[in-house]
Chains A and B, each alone.
Chain A
Amino acid sequence: MTEASGFALSSTLGLTLVVLFGLAWVLFGWYLGRANKTHEDFALAGRNVGFALASATAMATWVTSNTTLVAPQLTYQFGVWGMVGYSFAALGLILFAPLAARIKRLMPNGYTSGDFVRLRYGQSAWWAFILISVVYAFGWLISLGMAGGILLEALSGLDYHIGMTAILIICVGYTLFGGLRAVIATDFIQALIIILGVVLIAWFLIDTVSLETIHSEVQDNHPQLLDLLFPAAIMFLFNNIFFGLGEIFHSNVWWSRALAFKGSVAFKAYLLGGVLWLPIPIVTGFIALAAPQLGIFPPSADMVGPMVAAEVLGKIGAVVVFIVVFSALASSLDSLLAATSDLVTRDIYHKKLKPDAGDKHLLRFNRYSILGLGILTWLFCLPKIATLGALLNFAGAFVASTIFPIVLGLYNRRLSGRYAALAMTLGTLSGLAGYFVVGFYVAALVSCSVSALICGLGLLLSKHKFDWQQLNEQEEHSA
Chain B
Amino acid sequence: MTMGLTAFSTLVLVCLVLTACAPVILIGLWLKDFISKQIW
Chain A residues with CB under 8 Å of chain B are: 45-46, 48-53, 55-56, 59, 80, 84, 87, 181, 188, 191-192, 195-196, 198-199, 202-203, 206, 211-212, 215-216, 219, 223, 226-229, 262, 272, 276, 278-280, 282-283, 286
Q: Are B29 and A51 in contact (CB under 8 A)?
A: yes
For residue B22, which residues in chain A have a CB less than 8 angstroms away from its CB? 59, 191, 195, 276
Return the CB mask of B7-27 against A: 1 if under 8 Å, else 0: 011011111101110110111
Q: Are A283 and B19 in contact (CB under 8 A)?
A: yes
- Give the CA-CA distance A206 to B38 in the complex, in Å: 40
- Residue from B26, B29, B33, B38 whose CB has the most chain A CB atoms within 10 Å: B26
- Give the CA-CA distance A95 to B18 in the complex, in Å: 20
- Give the CA-CA distance A196 to B27 in the complex, in Å: 12
- Give the CA-CA distance A282 to B13 in the complex, in Å: 10
Closest 8 A-B residue pairs measured CB to CB? Answer: A279-B15, A52-B29, A52-B30, A282-B15, A279-B18, A50-B33, A50-B38, A276-B22
Interface secondary structure of B, over-half rule = helix
Interface secondary structure of A, over-half rule = helix
What total of A-B pairs shows CB separation below 8 Å?
98
Q: Are B23 and A279 in contact (CB under 8 A)?
A: no
Chain B residues with CB under 8 Å of chain A are: 1-3, 5, 8-9, 11-16, 18-20, 22-23, 25-27, 29-30, 32-33, 38-40
Q: Are B23 and A202 in contact (CB under 8 A)?
A: no
10 residue pairs of the A-B complex, CB under 8 angstroms, read A53-B30, A53-B33, A55-B26, A84-B11, A191-B26, A211-B9, A227-B2, A227-B3, A228-B1, A276-B26
Q: Are B3 and A226 in contact (CB under 8 A)?
A: yes
Q: Are B1 and A199 in contact (CB under 8 A)?
A: no
Shortest Cβ distance from residue B21 to the other chain A in the assembled complex, whole angstroms = 8
Q: Are A53 and B39 in contact (CB under 8 A)?
A: yes
Shortest Cβ distance from residue A63 to the other chain B in the assembled complex, whole angstroms = 10
For residue A272, which residues in chain B have a CB less than 8 angstroms away from its CB? 25
Q: Are A199 and B2 in contact (CB under 8 A)?
A: no
Q: Closest residue to A223 on the B side, CB-wise? A: B2
- Give the CA-CA distance A279 to B22 in the complex, in Å: 10
Q: Are A262 and B16 in contact (CB under 8 A)?
A: no
Q: Are A283 and B12 in contact (CB under 8 A)?
A: yes
Shortest Cβ distance from residue B36 to the other chain A in the assembled complex, whole angstroms = 9
Partner of A211, one of B8, B29, B30: B8
Given contacts A48-B40, A80-B3, A227-B1, contact A282 B11 (CB under 8 A): yes
- Give the CA-CA distance A176 to B22 in the complex, in Å: 30
Q: Closest residue to A49 on the B side, CB-wise? A: B40
For residue A283, which residues in chain B have a CB less than 8 angstroms away from its CB? 12, 15-16, 19
